[in-house]
Every structure is written in C-alpha cells, then in structure tokens.
Structure 1
Amino acid sequence: MKRIAFFYTQALQAVSLVWNTSRGLFLGLIVATIAAGALPAWAAWVGQHIVDAVVAAIQARSQTGSAPLWPVLRYVLLEAGVLTLLAAMQRALSVQQSLLRVQLGQKVNMLILEKAQQLSLVQFEDSEFYDRLVRIRRDASTRPLSLIMKSLGLVQNLIQLASFAVLLVHFSPWVLLLLVAGALPVFVSEAHFSGNAFRLFSRRAPESRQQNYIESLLSQEGNIKEVKIFGFAPLLLQRYRDTYTRLYAEDRRLTLRRDGWGFVLGLFGTAAFYGAYAWVAIDTVRGLASLGQMTMYLALFRQGQSAISSGLTAISGLYEDGLYLSNLHDYLAHPVAPRTGTLTQGARPGDGLRCENVGFTYPGSTEPALRNIDLHLAPGASLALVGENGSGKTTMIKLLTRLYLPDQGRILLDGTDLNDWDEDALRRRIGVIFQDFIRYQLPVGENLGVGDVQAFNDETRWRAAASQGAAAEFIERLEHGYATQLGRWFAGGQELSGGQWQKIALSRAYMRRDADILVLDEPTAALDAAAEAEVFEHFRKHARGRMTLLISHRFSSVRNADEILVLDHGRILERGNHQALMDLGGRYAHLFDLQARGYR
C-alpha cells in the first residue's frame, strides 16, 4: 500500500509538472496513447477476418471454381488503414515526446536554478546538500519525462489489455490470469532491483562528483599548467581509474544479478505463453476455433504477454523515477530563510556599520569562526582587517554582506539590523571584490557590467569603472577594446594576466557608483608594486565619503586605514591605527616588522 501511495503521489506531481510545462503536448500525448493502446486489438480482429475470408474463398473455389476476392480485399484494406493509423499515433507519441523532453528539461533546470538562488551560502558549502543538488541536476532533463512516459505507457498497456480481454474472453477468461501470473515474477524482480539501483546511484554521488572534479583538473586550461608542472597527472589518472573500477564493479554486480534473475523468472512468462499457445492450437485442431480465430488468439497472446511485461516493468521503472522526483520535490521544498526585510533606509541614516557582540560558527564545526566582535565603521572611515590565514577575516566580510547570518549578536547598518533591510536595497549599497573573484568567460564590458546589472550594457559606466580600477589603459590596447572576449573557453577569447584580471574585478566593484560600502578582500594580491600604488591612489579618491573595509596581507596597503583590527582565532586581538599598534608592540608590530625585513 505504501508503494501504491508513493506511485500515486509522484504521478500527480509529475502530471502537474508536465501540465504546467505544455498543456497542448500533454493532451496530445494522452490522445495518442489511448489510440495506440486500442488499435492493436482492432488490427488483430481484422487479421482474424482476413484469414477466415481467405479460408472461405479457398473453400468456395474448390466447390464452385471461382473465389470471391472483395471480402478478402476489404479486410486487407481495413487492416492497412488501422496499421497506418497506429503508425501515425506512434509517430505522434515520438514527436511530442521529443518536444516535451526539451521543454521539460528546461523547466526542471529552471526550477532547480531558481531555487538555488534562494539558498544560503552555508547550504552550498554543505557537502551533503551539494551532493543532492548534483544528483538532481544530473537527471533533471530525463527523469520527469521518463516517469510521465512510463505512466502513459502503462495506461497504453492497460488499454491494450482491456481491448484484448474483450476478444480473449470468448476463448477463456483463464488465459488472462495465466498470462498475468507468468509476468508477475519478473515484475517483482525488477521492482526490487530498481530500488537497489537508485540507492546505489544516490549513495555514490560523492564519488561521481570526485570523478567530475578530476576530469576538470585534467582538462581545463586553468588547471592543466600546474598539473603538468607538478607531474600530478599520473596520480590523478590512477585515482580516476581506481574510482571507475570500484563503481564498475558495483554496476557489474547489480547488472548480473538483475538480468540473471530477470532471465530465470522470465521463463515463467515463456511457459505461460506457450501453455496458452498449446491450448488454442489444440482447440483449433478439435474444431472449437477457426483458423482465423487461432491466428488472432496467438497474436493477442503474444502482444498481451508483451503488454503485461511492459506494464509491470514500467511500474518498477516508475518506482525508480518516483524516487528521483521525490528528491527533486524535497529539494524544491527545502526551507529557505524568509526574506522578511523590507526596509530601504535605516533608523539612523549616517550612523554607518556596526557589529555588536557578533559570533558565527560553521555548520558541523564546534569551534566558532568569529566570537564577540564589536566594531563601528562610520561614513568616510576606513577599516582594515589583518591576521593569519583562518583568523576569520573573510568570514567577517561574508557576515557584513549578509551572505552569512550571525549566530549571536547583530550587525546594524544606519541603526537597523541587516536582517530588516530589503536584500536588494542592501546589496546596492555594497561594492565588493572577493579574493576568489570570478573570471567570467564574457566580453570585457560584460565582465565589468556584472558589478551592476542595472547598467550591464552601459558602455559609459564601463569606461568610468575601468578608469577607477586602473584597468582602462590595458583594455583600450586590446584588439576589440571592451568587446574583447576574455578567457579561452570560446572562440576568439583572449587570456589576461593575473594582475589584469584583478584590475577587471576591482573595476567591477566600482560599477556600483551609488555604493557607500566598499569591501576589498586582497584587492592587489596579483599586482606589482607600481600597479598597487596606482590602484590605491584611485581607491583613495573613489572612497571619499564612503565606508571602506579592506583585507590585505600587505601592510603597505592597510597602514593608512583609520582603524586596523588584528584578528586571531576569530577574536579581536588588537585594534587601533597603524601608529598606535606599532607603539603597542604586539602582534601587528611583529608582523609588520617581519614583512618590512624583506624590503631592507
């Protein structure tokens, strides 16, 4: 009963999904399915009359010397028409299925991607959740349509069986039970192994994702140079082979068991068919059935057994597809943090950015990444975060930009909690460059335009942002200027140096000319000293009157900040301006002296 309820629930969800994708194609599939299910019985009935008409004509010829041809020809023409109509319905099924596959794949992928935009960054960083997302995306274009087609195929088989039953009942109702009983063992086997197959593929999603990652390391231009230099390829290839060998062994074991049992249990169906075959043959010899009826019954036995086997196999396949759809709907129903914020202005405009006893712990971790953080960044002021790797600097930025929500304390902008701000209004006030910024395989102008999608195609804004980010000079030297395709993924693409990419990313942050909060995470890590000096000269001009937050391991970059926070294991260890921290002689002074020695 649980499986029946499961089938019913998933079938309703699949029907709703397909109905919302294309009502016309769905209705067309239903019509073609009904017709394709009813026509084979009609063809078998006509076939019986052809044989009987031929036998009657032969008898008439032996008795009278002439044979009437029209009774034979009219049934031949009728069968030709029925089979032509059946072929048309099968072609209609194929065409509509192909069209619906494309539309449904797009629909499901859009649902998955739209849902992904509602999820938090923490959920994307959860490996278990990410594995589920990979599994769902992998089968998004095939599983929903597969469930629908198997459901319609089941309906078609039931219509066939119902129409066959009308004809077979004249021979014996027990024949139907015999054919069904012969097909049941195969159904039980298929249902069992379909569940095993789904659980197997679900369990090994992390290994499949690891294989995909190895493929990217061995085939993408951004990775291949380091892999070649380090001679890492043989080790990666061996790991890829080992993973494949292990997965193949599981597939092989499942396949052999599934098909082995399928063959053995299929013998029951074969025995049932030939039992019915012998039954009707004997009745024909005894004169209880005509030759035409025997021909029809044999055709109905064969097609009926095939319809029963196909229907039962479809049911087992429905279970596997239903498991996928249940995962899809669980994902789409995954709870997201409600967008409760509606404010576009703070309670105290001009108050700036505040953290009050802020703490954050990553899911699954017992050690807080940040704890007891208090700070105030006023308009026009600059704040720098320094500390060793893992001290919590980037986590702090993700909290301030509301990519993460604090576990304790609160973060205020203009006197209002970040959670109470409208998300779009909040993001428009922030210009940010992350250390791991994206190198978009897009033209130069669009690489800049993503910084403010409202000005995505505004060339005037591109040029202004590129000038502020010190990128204009090298962009204008490119063959096609702002129309130059960047990266090597697409034809005509041009690769940039690391420093040039960093200037592109910095310019991208300047696209948000209305942003009054500038967040820079290692903005000059790939730049030489001259370029760094140029960038910060532009930065100081652009940052006037704005709140600026800077992370950098280069102390020459942070020494001019109004306030410097030294983080250590998620806590504020020291705070003050450069001179005050040097006079303190603590961690900051020690790190500054270590770096300064390299320039002496």
Structure 2
Amino acid sequence: MTTLLRAIRQLLRLAVRCDARRLTRAVALLAVGYLSTPLIAVCLKSLTTAALARSAATGTWLALTTALLLVLELMMTHFAHLSYFELGELEELALQNEVISLAHGTTGLEQLDRPGFADTLALVREELPRTRAALEAVLQLGGMALQLTVTTVLLGLLNPWLLLLILAALVPVAAGNRAQLLIDRAKETAAPRIRLGRHLLELATAEASAKEVRLSGAEAVLTERQRRDWRSVTATLWRAQASAALLRAVGQLVFAAAYGGAIVLVVRQALSGGSGLGDVILVITLAAQVSFQVSTTLGLLTILQGAGRTLERLHSLRVAHRPDTAASTGTSGVPSALTVGIRLEEVSFSYPGSDRKILDRVTLDIPAGTALALVGENGAGKSTLVKLLCGLYRPTGGRILVDGVDLAEGGPEEWQRRTATLFQDFARLELRLRDNVGIGDLDLLDDDAALRQSIDAADAGPIPDQVPGGLDGLLGHSYGDGAELSGGQWQKLGLARALLRRRPLLVALDEPASALDATAEHALFERFADLATEARTDTGAVTLLVSHRFSTVRMADLIVVLEQGRISELGTHAQLAAAGGLYAELYDLQARVYT
C-alpha cells in the first residue's frame, strides 16, 4: 500500500509540473461524471416511488433528471479523457527524459557497467510506456473513491449492516495487492534471462550478425538456446500469474458472497414492511455499482501497482546515480591550451563488480603536443586507458592530471568537451547525415560549411552526394527508408564527427581503420599525421592512437606498450625496435607478412 500511495503522489506531483491547468480541468470533469452515477440510483428510487404513487409530474421531472445524469456520466468522462490522455503523454516524456539523464547524467560510465543498475535500467525502459495510463488510473481511482463515499453514505442511511458490503470490498483489494507483488518479484527474478533471450533474438536477426550466424549454421543453436531461456522465463512468470489469479479469485468470491447477502437483507426488510420498493431498487442499483466499482478499482490498482514498481525502480536508479559534485560545483580547471601535458600517477582501474585490474598502477607522462601510440595484445587495457584519458571513467586508484590539475576535480565534463574521439565501436546514428556528423560539435549542427569541411577532411566527401537529401537525408533503414552505407563509410562519418570538434586538447583514435580499405587507411593515417601537427601547433593537444598497424604506430612521437594492464615498454619506434622486447617481436611478425 505504501508503494501505491507513493506512486499516486508522484504521478499527481508530476502532472502538476507538466500542466496544472489541464489536470484541474480533467479532475473537474471526472468529478461531475463520477458523481452522476450514485445520483442516478437515488433518482431511480424516487422515480419508482413516484410511479407507485401515480405522480405523473414528479415522475416526468425525475425521468428527465435521470436522463441528464446519464448524459453527464457518459460525456464528462469522455471530455476529461481528452485532457488526461495528453497529460499522461507529457508525464511519460518527462520520465523518459529523466531516465536518459540518469543513464548519462554523470561524467563517467561506471554505473552502466554495474549489473544491478543495468538490470533495473532495462526493466524501467521496458515498463515506462505503461506509465502513460497510470495518470488516467489515478484520476479514475479518485472518481471511484468519490463514488464509493457517496454510496457508503446512502447504504448506511438505509441500513447500517449494509456498510459491511463496503468492508467486504477491501478483501479483493488486499488480495490484488498481494497478487501484484508476486508478479513483480517474478519479473525481477526473470529480468536477466529476459535480457539474454532478447539478445539471442537480436543476434539471429540483426543485419550485423545474421550473416555470420547463417554461414556458421548457428541458427538452430541460437533458436534452441532462446527457446530454452524463454521457456524458463515463461514458467517463472506463469507460476506467479497463476498464484496471483487464485488470490484475486478468492477476494472476488468474498465480495460476491457479501453482495448476495446485502440483497437478501433488503428484500427481507421490504417483505416485513421496513422499507419500500424504492429502497429495494436503490440497494440493488447501488450494490451493482459497488460491484462495478470494486472490479474497476482492482484493475486500476493493478495498473498503479505496476506503475508504482516502475517508479520505485526509477527511484533506485536515482539513488544509484552518483553525480560528480566536483565537476558540477567547482571551477573548471581545463586550460584553453596544454602547456605541460597529461600525467598518469599510479593509475589503476577495475570495472564495477569485478576485482580484476584492467590497469595496474600505470604511471606515464605525456608532454603537451605529443603524438602517442598505444600498442599491446588484445585485453592489455588499451581501450580502457583511452576511456580513462577521455574522462569516461574515473580511476579506481591513482589520478590523472591535466596541466597539473586532477581531472576528477578540475572539470571532467569540460574536459570531455575538449576531446575529439573515434572509438573502435563507433556509433552508427541512423538519423540525418547532418545529425550523424553534427553531434561532434552541436554548435555547428546547422553550419553546412563546417560539416562539409569535416566530411571532406575524413575522406568522406562523396557521401553527401550519394545520400538522397544530402546533409538532411536519412541514413539507415531502422527508422525509415534511408541510405545504407558500408562499414567503411560509417567509420569515415565517425571520423568526421571527431574532426568537427573545435580546438580539442585530446584527439583519441581507437583502431580508426578497422573498417577501411588500404587506400582509405593510407589517407586516414596521412590525415592523422597532419592532425597531430595541427593540434600541437594550435592547442598543444595530445594525439592518441591505438592501432595494430605498426606502419602507422611508428609515426608517433612516443609509443607505449601495454602488457596485462601495465606499461612494459616505452619509447620511440627506433628505441623499442632496438630493445628486442614485445614491441620488436610484434613489429617483426607484422613486417614479415609484407616482406
């Protein structure tokens, strides 16, 4: 019950913030509509009495009044729906915006790697569209409470024993609360398997993975695994639904018995001369209304209980959400240009929920203007180090200094705005071509000249001419009939986003040529060399490259070799090649392929 009341308060508070005038109008219309229902029963009683007394004039006015009340009952709720439906959509939009803020409101991404946070976030995303009907349920529940209050007064005036009918209505309400709790617990238990089942379905059907699935003949394996997981999920949910249905049925049976008893009581009272036929009509009508009110209330409570659990999960996301107060309250320590450089002091990092150190006490000085290359075998920690340098994660040990200022205290958000990146798992934004490139610097989203300049710099100049609509043309087929691009073209647009960023202090390219052909790769690395020179001259920026292509790595001023989360070698290409360590071994292996 606490969850239910809290949900009602939150939904009403949110409705007031979204549109108080529309909420007031909906409440007034619903009040008129819902009050009409018990008044109809009173009019029917009086109409019956007038008919028995053969009073034509009184009967006519009562008939007209009853007809008017029927019109109000039907029409007021309809007109109210026009207001609260739109208000419900505004509430859903507000909650969606909050979820986005909670998922991305911190400067880092650590919370997205916490299993508990990820599971809760997935449940909230799935259930959030259902909250659109939650405000409607709140308002209708208020109308039902108003009806039930008037009905209680009328029944009590007729016979105090009839008040037991109202008490009996609480039994199915309590049973419904318990039933919904069982269902919610089952959903939470099944949440990880639901996510896995959807992932398996996506693997089997998504364009990116379907070709490998087809060639490997893995359709049957994925289908069987998905069927087995969904069978387990269905069994868990079915048991909960069956138990919930049984509880609700018991509650309804208790009320049905009380309903029958109330009718018997009034009929016997009428037969003994204690009441008239009008009272019998009144009780039968009110009892029928109470039955409808209870069944409707149960349905509304089910909706609100589900919304309440969603709002509770949203609250748990708020609690788990850890804003970076240093970044939001302190003065940014990010300089306009680097003069000293970036220093890592004893930096360690482990992902949330894991004791394994991806990076272990890494100490490194990167002078301003340096073109740095990261080398190492898969899993050495290269991409993690890039994310730390970009401020997407905070070290779990040690610190990162930018011109002597701790990145965690000097403004990670501002630092992120001064980084230009292309990650190995770059985003494919199936929006307009303008949006795809423009998010690199939102201030330039509508600057066609700047967008085309960055596209040309990324060797993607022909793409706007190939996309119907040019910069305003749609990309991809997921949300419309947009232009489909190759993997290399998508990656070039990712590079264009990075190049759009003005006066960066850190340029980070993580495997930027993974989807490019040899010609495009050569052009990209020539552009990398030019970019490093430009950044060094303009802002003293550090240019960071992660690559397995040693022909490009050798262009860097400084090469760092990572091995099992630690720096094993450091120097220029000539120094490392002469040292005969891991770098020299990897370089020789790759060089032999070409010689």
TM over 0.5: yes
1:558 lines up with 2:553 in the alignment: yes
In structure 2, do the counterparts of structure 1 residues 300 and 233 end up closer, same or farther at CA, with 3 Å as the change threshold?
same
Structure-2 change in CA distance of 1:327 and 1:492 (3 Å) = closer
Q: Which one-letter code corresponds to 1:22 in the other structure? A: D
Q: Tell me what 1:61 maps to.
A: none
- Given the alignment, which residue of 17, 26, 51 partners 1:20? 17
1:106: how far off?
Answer: 0.9
Q: 1:222 aligns with which of 208, 212, 236?
A: 208
Alignment partners' CA distance in 1, 2:338 and 2:238: 67
CA deviations on 1:365-397 (whole Å, 9 max, x unpaired) are 222111222222223321111000110111111
CA contact (8 A) 1:144 1:325 kept: no
Q: Mind listing any 5+ residue stretches in structure 2 that lack a counterpart? A: none
Match of 2:217 in 1: 231
Preserved contact between residue 136 and residue 324 of structure 1 (Cα < 8 Å)? yes
For residues 290-369 of structure 1, the aligned pairs below 5 Å read 290-308=276-294, 310-311=296-297, 314=300, 318-333=304-319, 334-338=321-325, 339=327, 340-343=329-332, 345-346=334-335, 349-369=338-358
Aligned counterpart for 2:512 among listed residues 523, 529, 549: 523
After TM superposition, list the pairs within 5 Å mapping 1:378-393 onto structure 2.
378-393=367-382
Q: Which residue in 2 is equivalent to 1:96?
A: 83
C-alpha distance after superposition, 1:206-234 (max 9, x if no partner): 12222322332233323322222222222
2-structure distance, mates of 1:316, 1:436: 42
Q: Which amino acid aligns with 1:537?
A: E
Corresponding residue for 1:64?
none
8 Å CA contact retained: 1:191, 1:317: no
**1:582 pairs with one of 573, 577, 581:** 577
Task: Indicate whether 1:457 and 2:454 are aligned.
Answer: no
Question: Are positions 1:143 and 2:135 aligned together?
Answer: no
Unaligned runs of 5+ in 1: 58-67
Does 2:174 match 1:188?
A: yes
CA-CA distance at 1:181 after TM superposition: 4.2
SS at match of 2:283: helix
The partner residue of 2:61 within 65, 71, 74 is 74
The offset of 1:344, in angstroms, is: 5.0
Matches for 1:282-293 after TM superposition, within 5 Å: 282-293=268-279
Q: Which amino acid aligns with 2:263?
A: Y
Deviation at 1:349, TM superposition (A): 4.7
Contact residue 348 and residue 416 of structure 1 kept, 8 A: no
My pick for the range that moved more, 211-220 or 588-597, is 211-220
Cα separation, 2, equivalents of 1:516 and 1:75: 82
Q: Which moved more, 1:526-535 or 1:447-456?
A: 526-535
Cα distance change on mapping 1:28 and 1:141 into 2, 3 Å? farther
Is the contact made by 2:176 and 2:248 (CA closer than 8 Å) also made in structure 1? yes
SS at match of 1:40: helix
Distance 1:173 1:284 in 2: 15
Q: Over aligned residues, Cα RMSD in angstroms?
A: 2.4
The change in CA–CA distance for 1:251 and 1:9 in structure 2 (over 3 A counts) is closer
Aligned residue number for residue 134 of structure 1: 122
- 2:592 corresponding residue in structure 1: 597
Give the SS at the match of 2:378: coil
TM-score, normalised to structure 2, is 0.92
Give yes or no for contact 2:15–2:23 (8 Å, CA) kept in 1. Answer: yes
Letter in 1 for 2:45: Q
Q: Is 1:87 equivalent to 2:58 in the alignment?
A: no
Aligned-partner residue type, residue 211 of structure 2: K
Alignment of 1:260-299 (within 5 A): 260-299=246-285
Structure 2 vs 1, CA of residues 559 and 239 (structure 1 numbering), >3 Å: closer, same or farther?
same
Q: TM-score, normalising length from structure 1?
A: 0.91
The amino acid of 2:256's aligned partner reads T
Count, aligned residues: 585
Q: Per-residue displacement from partner, 1:342-369 (whole Å, max 9, x unpaired)?
A: 2254499511222122221222222211
Describe the SS at the equivalent of 1:169.
helix
Following superposition, the deviation at residue 309 of structure 1 comes to: 5.2
Distance in structure 2 (CA, Å) of the matches to 1:485 and 1:316 = 41
3-state SS of paired residue (2:374) = strand
C-alpha contact (below 8 Å) 1:348/1:414 kept by paired residues: no
- Aligned ranges for residues 409-428 of structure 1 at < 5 Å? 409-428=398-417
Task: State which structure, 1 or 2, has the greater radius of gyration over its C-alpha atoms.
Answer: 1
- Taking the aligned partners of 2:255 and 2:480, their CA distance within structure 1 comes to 57
CA distance in 1, matches of 2:9, 2:151: 28
More off after superposition, 399-408 vs 349-358:
349-358
Give 1:547's match in structure 2, choosing from 515, 534, 542: 542
CA contact (8 A) 2:458 2:495 kept: yes
Q: Shift of residue 591 of structure 1?
A: 0.7
CA distance in 2, matches of 1:370, 1:392: 6
Q: 1:213 aligns with which of 199, 207, 221?
A: 199
Q: 1: distance between equivalents of 2:577 and 2:402? A: 31
Match of 1:245 in 2: 231
Q: Answer with 284-293 or 588-597: which moved more.
A: 284-293
The range that moved more, 395-404 or 32-41, is 32-41
SS for the counterpart of 1:435 is coil
TM-superposed CA distance for 1:310, in Å, is 4.5
Q: Is the 8 A contact 1:102 1:141 kept in 2?
A: no
Alpha-carbon separation, structure 1, partners of 2:231 and 2:70: 48
Deviation of residue 437 (structure 1)?
Answer: 0.5
Task: Note the C-alpha offset of 1:111.
Answer: 1.4
Aligned amino acid, residue 568 of structure 2: L
List per-residue Cα deviations over 1:291-336 (Å, max 9, x = no partner). Answer: 2221112111222344345446655764443233222222234332
